[in-house]
Structure 1
């Protein structure tokens, strides 16, 4: 096989957190298992030989009553529930197509659980129900698009005739062709285009596909996750999504029953929000988000998966409000892009979120055109508030004229902050480095983003001030590395898991992105990109990722617990509610964060 077991497993969590030597030992001991379509892998109640990981193909998992609970594919694992109980299969599994599996022997599985905390933590999170194992293993929120996509999809030039295209699609048993010119994707041709445009309009057989294709189709990068595919399909009523990397077509994902099944919970929210006709109807959708958070956490999803899904809903709500605003005030007189900053910008929204946003407009607008966007922004902001995304206490919103400006003004803003990094400039730059386009014309921001990153990274005085600003949020560690709680007021005897837990990590991630001129915004993605770019050492980065996962997961679990009690979620956790084991690990996480802050202060950006 061209791809080794070690290189394959190194791409999958939690194996990616194991030392290279351990990963090599695993690769030496795993067994390759070839299964033909229809072959049973194991039956419910049978002894399990080990944990199975899918290298290629597809596997169906059924519960004790024979009901299919999931279909799994590459990188998904199954069998752990039985291994964690009595060593007997809790489900039945069979190959639905020719498949290659990797079997991790039972004794090695338990050895890894006993000796490696990330492995133990990943597989020992509490589950509920016979189908839970399969649902987690094949959850679109943990599958990257590059895993779901069909690589190197069939393409055609724009000059191909519709008849030739139809014949090619028939002969290859496919439902679409990607239209490529000079190695660039310019359109997509689907069966719907052929029937609804070429055939229905009686076009000649030699009509070029460029006349009936969907030009400039929506695309996703390989780094997107499976739920991004489903949510975009639900919002825009798409059946096919090309995957593009660095301007090149690398794959395509089509809508299937499988993808609908995988993200059915959040897809329902997205579909309802995308069809809502009023802000009140949107509020009916968003008021159910707290219960969704509880369900997602209870299902064992990681914090970054939960926050990504919750942010997806906020994004759709925002875009729907932009659409409703255009219907209310008429077509916009100029191009604009609505951007989110803060937790929505970073795709890290939890159960407690205000709104942070701004508008970038195209240059050259007259006073009348500029005046359109005042009530427009107010309509959207009011709608977000009605949906539970409360007004920003610091007025960091597009309703503030300061944050609703042409692109040239924004360019001056960033240049001024970088040139003269006052306290306010540092604060504003920190917020604005987390900007992410939500609706409108994203091209207004793209050039500005990279231009600003390069200018900021090149200014050592600015980066020094930003580094200093990143250290203003201290971790809640006492003198003897115990947990230091708030001493007075209504939050007495609690720790603020946002201000003193997550925010220091967000600050570090932002600084690493600035140092490496990395254009990713999500904190976890920034930490991973910083490791890949050698901005931070591999050992330091892995420790910081583990610390981030623990703090963020603890925060999310705390919010879910409050919601289950019928209380409003917050960020203030009484450490006394944690076990001694949990407190110890939380202290260790804060020690890692503090150490990395010290490294940043010393200009090293590394650990140990």
Structure 2
């Protein structure tokens, strides 16, 4: 290899996992041993038991397809992907070369870097602390990678609240101030890259130093003009209590470098990309970015394993249940939005305004591996009969592709692809009027699903108007909460372990506990009713309980108890789903009593008792017509 290429190769390798884990001197040693080869489209590399020279291959440019000896697809690889790990065998008793043999074919003209196994082994023997990153067994490498991604430092950043990370330096100016005065405030007084413009105490817009360069200096605009002439109106903001991960996701989604941080609708700080240094690599953030730039629906389906790996890393890292739900919801949001964009591109521009709303666990930001689709479309009232066909096709395609990406179709048919749930705003309002005035069983089921909805795409104002209408109706219907409460307490948690434990008696899940039906759903119902009784419009389970406490509906002790119970039961559920995932099984909510040791049994008893106590209080307060 020409020595002139060495610096470029070292720089390239230093950005690729797992070589980025190695110290620079190891990277240089490996780079110096590299052979470079070029494969034309269709050329193959055969891996067999009798080959003498083995290499680890890095795809510099191009793409490769791996197939086993029987022709079954093994993997598709692209730029910066690595293969050839299987022949880095270092221990006896592992899979034979024959079992791991395969053929790699260039799908297009490809440039490869070849690292001799012999050289790599010498380096790893000298530095065994890095050997796990290059293990022959895929599961060892995956575990190694995840443990790096979810280091304590990284959790400390991305799972902190925005208020813990953002800078207090932010320029705040009034809308009538001049461009020159604003620039002075930003650069001299506050040394801030953004100014927030207010009008009568409310946020009217923002301006960044880059905006000033493009909109003022480049165009020769007079700096005596008011800043309101060049500001960005309706700016994105982030709440001080939101996760840094959510803020980072917003920055990538909308391609912005700064976000004003608000508390009670007042700007208190500024969060910029400089707070999110490159060293803090969180896999979920990169997956959201991948989803955003995926250019085909088919390509989105290939990212499922990455989403599962993120879930595994979160659970194994003992990240809080509330945060896991938020992260998985952000990923589901990203999939749903991108699929909507790609389907719209295929069908053409929508003929009228609409918004895509999600319901259930997705709306509550409590997504997990079993979360299915609960969604709907709210159309503007000027939609024509012909326009309706467009949205039916849109909804069917979106739901189909969400299913292909691992978000299963709703068995209850609460999806936008069902015509009943793809309606103009006025029809939705009529639905709610009927449900609230006469909540019979079917109507009660419908409103239970759509009591919490969240707009993730389109004209959010349509969803806001519908939610305002709903809460007005609930405030006028005295009997609604009573009927909702009676339904909620019709199922009770199992207070005995295990002789009185509520177990399925027949079918596929005989002698298992349905932890969703007999625990988590009960807590979700409690949070919904307690929050609604206080006029709350929040959707998340924990935030609903906190709101109910703030309004004096539940005591501080009850708040701590029920949130503790909710988090513990959710943790049990996540652990069960993770175990199924590791065993190659389909995750479910049915847990065998054999899984529980004394620790779990003890705390489950406490959790179920807390639920039962809150149900009793709710029956006394709301359970009489």
Could you state the TM-score of these two structures normalised by the residue count of structure 1?
0.74
Summarize the alignment of residues 554-565 of structure 1 with structure 2, pairs less than 5 Å apart: 554-565=572-583
Give per-residue Cα distances to partners, 1:143-185, cap 9 Å, x unaligned: 2233333458322233433333333322132111111122121
Q: Which residue of 2 aligns with 1:330?
A: 348
Q: 1:440 aligns with which of 454, 458, 461?
A: 458
Summarize the alignment of residues 195-344 of structure 1 with structure 2, pairs less than 5 Å apart: 195-258=213-276, 261-262=279-280, 264-344=282-362
Do residues 390 (structure 1) and 408 (structure 2) align?
Answer: yes
- Residues 514, 591 of structure 2: 8 Å contact kept: yes
Instruction: State the distance in 1 between where 2:603 and 2:227 align.
Output: 60
Give per-residue Cα distances to partners, 1:391-450, cap 9 Å, x unaligned: 111111111121111111111111111111111111111111121111111111223313
Pick which of 386-395 and 285-294 moved more. 285-294
Q: Secondary structure at the match of 1:287?
A: helix
Equivalenced residue count is: 479
Q: Which residue of 1 aligns with 2:161?
A: 144
**5+ residue gaps, structure 1:** 1-64, 66-127
Q: 1:592 aligns with which of 582, 598, 610?
A: 610
Q: 1:358 aligns with which of 366, 376, 390?
A: 376
Q: Residue 315 and residue 130 in structure 1: after superposition, are their counterparts in 2 closer, same or farther (change >3 A)? A: closer
Give per-residue Cα distances to partners, 1:191-220, cap 9 Å, x unaligned: 111222322333333343333322211122
Do residues 419 (structure 1) and 414 (structure 2) align?
Answer: no
Pick which of 549-558 and 527-536 moved more. 527-536
- Residues 279, 321 of structure 1: 8 Å contact kept: yes
Q: 1:375 aligns with which of 384, 393, 400?
A: 393
Q: Residue 136 and residue 556 in structure 1: after superposition, are their counterparts in 2 closer, same or farther (change >3 A)? A: farther
Q: 1:158 aligns with which of 175, 183, 186?
A: 175
Q: 1:190 aligns with which of 205, 208, 216?
A: 208
Give per-residue Cα distances to partners, 1:323-357, cap 9 Å, x unaligned: 22332222222221111001111111111121110
Q: Secondary structure at the match of 1:272?
A: helix
Instruction: State the distance in 1 between where 2:215 and 2:303 align.
Output: 36
RMSD: 2.5
Q: Secondary structure at the match of 1:463?
A: helix
- Residues 150, 252 of structure 1: 8 Å contact kept: yes
- Residues 485, 622 of structure 2: 8 Å contact kept: no
Give per-residue Cα distances to partners, 1:37-94, cap 9 Å, x unaligned: xxxxxxxxxxxxxxxxxxxxxxxxxxxx9xxxxxxxxxxxxxxxxxxxxxxxxxxxxx
Q: Secondary structure at the match of 1:585?
A: helix
- Residues 138, 262 of structure 1: 8 Å contact kept: no
Instruction: State the distance in 1 between where 2:468 and 2:383 align.
Output: 24
- Residues 176, 227 of structure 2: 8 Å contact kept: yes
Q: Residue 261 and residue 463 in structure 1: after superposition, are their counterparts in 2 closer, same or farther (change >3 A)? A: farther
Q: Residue 275 and residue 185 in structure 1: after superposition, are their counterparts in 2 closer, same or farther (change >3 A)? A: same
Q: Which residue of 2 aligns with 1:77?
A: none
- Residues 149, 282 of structure 2: 8 Å contact kept: no
Pick which of 161-170 and 517-526 moved more. 161-170
- Residues 169, 191 of structure 2: 8 Å contact kept: no
Q: Residue 287 and residue 182 in structure 1: after superposition, are their counterparts in 2 closer, same or farther (change >3 A)? A: same
Instruction: State the distance in 2 between where 1:316 and 1:576 align.
Output: 37
Instruction: State the distance in 2 between where 1:560 and 1:588 align.
Output: 24
Q: CA deviation at 1:259?
A: 6.1
Instruction: State the distance in 1 between where 2:472 and 2:268 align.
Output: 28
Pick which of 578-587 and 349-358 moved more. 578-587
Pick which of 484-493 and 438-447 moved more. 484-493
Q: Residue 162 and residue 339 in structure 1: after superposition, are their counterparts in 2 closer, same or farther (change >3 A)? A: same
Q: Which residue of 2 aligns with 1:177?
A: 195
**5+ residue gaps, structure 2:** 1-22, 24-145
- Residues 329, 367 of structure 2: 8 Å contact kept: yes
Q: 2:591 aligns with which of 573, 576, 589?
A: 573
Q: Secondary structure at the match of 2:355?
A: strand
Q: Secondary structure at the match of 1:503?
A: helix
Q: Secondary structure at the match of 1:187?
A: strand
Instruction: State the distance in 1 between where 2:578 and 2:498 align.
Output: 31
Q: Secondary structure at the match of 2:211?
A: helix
Summarize the alignment of residues 388-537 of structure 1 with structure 2, pairs less than 5 Å apart: 388-478=406-496, 482-537=500-555
Q: CA deviation at 1:380?
A: 1.6
Q: CA deviation at 1:489?
A: 2.8
Q: CA deviation at 1:604?
A: 6.8
Q: Secondary structure at the match of 2:333?
A: helix
Q: CA deviation at 1:515?
A: 0.7
- Residues 206, 232 of structure 2: 8 Å contact kept: yes
